[in-house]
Amino acid sequence: SCSRLEDAASFLDSVDVFIFDCDGVIWKGDSLIDGVPAILDMLRKMGKRVFFVTNNSTKSRKGYKG
């Protein structure tokens, strides 16, 4: 079963790479989801590697730029 994350700092310290799905996680339709840029910036400042994946073939990489 799932449980609530109690110690976010320890979790973030334990992960080097984050992989995000674009549709519904980063973007909703053609709109960037609120708060996403700040979270991505925070992860990058922490030295984390960030990658994006999608199965949406209707957009190119350029089509996803914010």
User: Would you name the residues annotated as active-site residues?
Assistant: 16
- Structure-block tokens of residue 31: 């709109």
CA dihedral angle for residue 51, residue 13, residue 42, residue 29, rounded to 10 degrees: 40
**Residue 44 · residue 38 · CB < 8 Å:** no
